[in-house]
Homo-oligomer: A and B are copies of this chain.
């Protein structure tokens, strides 16, 4: 609830249009919806600029459908990440227009009223072929939030010419999402080549001493490129979310 709303509410009390008890209830009751298992945050896009996103893993298909339905009623873009085919089947049964992006494990549901022009530009890089699911989760997230996306995949540092060949294209983006497993060195190298924020995503790609992505995570946290910040292992969504906020702000003129 924003300050303007608060002043408006208090003004209503002042002019007798609202009883103090009712105002107290309003102040205590904020705009979310309790589905029993989940409290859906309708207020979120007011507060954060972007609508709530469903993290499907660990939820039943029925729970995911309930939340999707609650969001769809608000007329916002719906995105469910880490979704299985079972989650999609449940959503599609009620929303035939829903789309499942298998590689990135995402369900999207585009509400006609929510169409917006593209705003901002994000480049998404990954070090190897096995990082594609994480990179695609990021790409779909950014596209859902109406950003232009450039995909630059399999450009890991052990074959530097592959990266140098796309160097010019890096310079066009407002923010970069860089996904890498194993030693996780790509964000450091990329960070040194550009002047925009780099959102680094360690992936769980690797074996042995990669400890399921922990090695890449530690590498990225210790990056000597100062424009690198890091999200959780495999969290393509989170990196794209921050990148979208950055890119949109750069083009809000």
Q: Which residues of A contact B (CB under 8 A)?
A: 1, 3, 6-7, 10-11, 13-14, 16, 19-21, 23-24, 27-32, 34, 37-39, 41, 43-44, 47-50, 53, 57-59, 63, 127-130, 132, 153-162, 164-165, 167-168, 174, 181-185, 188-189, 191-197, 199, 202, 204-235, 237-239, 241-242, 245-246, 249-250, 252-253
**Which residues of chain B have C-beta atoms less than 8 A from A188's C-beta?**
157-158, 183, 185
Report how many copies the assembly holds.
8
27 A–B contacts, CB within 8 A, in A order: A10-B13, A28-B164, A30-B161, A31-B161, A37-B129, A41-B161, A47-B193, A47-B194, A48-B194, A48-B195, A53-B226, A58-B205, A127-B224, A160-B189, A160-B192, A183-B222, A183-B224, A185-B185, A185-B189, A209-B213, A209-B214, A209-B232, A210-B222, A216-B222, A226-B238, A229-B229, A229-B230
Contact partner of A221 (CB less than 8 A), chosen from B223, B227, B230, B249, is B230
A181 to B249, CA, bound (A): 29
Given A6-B27, A30-B162, A58-B130, decide whether A241 and B227 contact each other with a Cβ distance below 8 A. Answer: yes
Contact A129 B58 (CB under 8 A): yes
Closest CB-CB distance, A226 to chain B, in whole Å? 4
Q: Are B223 and A39 in contact (CB under 8 A)?
A: no
Measured in the bound complex, the distance between the Cα atoms of B36 and A129 in whole Å is 9
Contacts of A127 in B (CB 8 A): 224
Compute how far the CA of A199 lies from the CA of B174 in the bound complex, rounded to whole angstroms. 17
In the complex, what distance in Å separates the CA atom of A168 from the CA atom of B183? 25
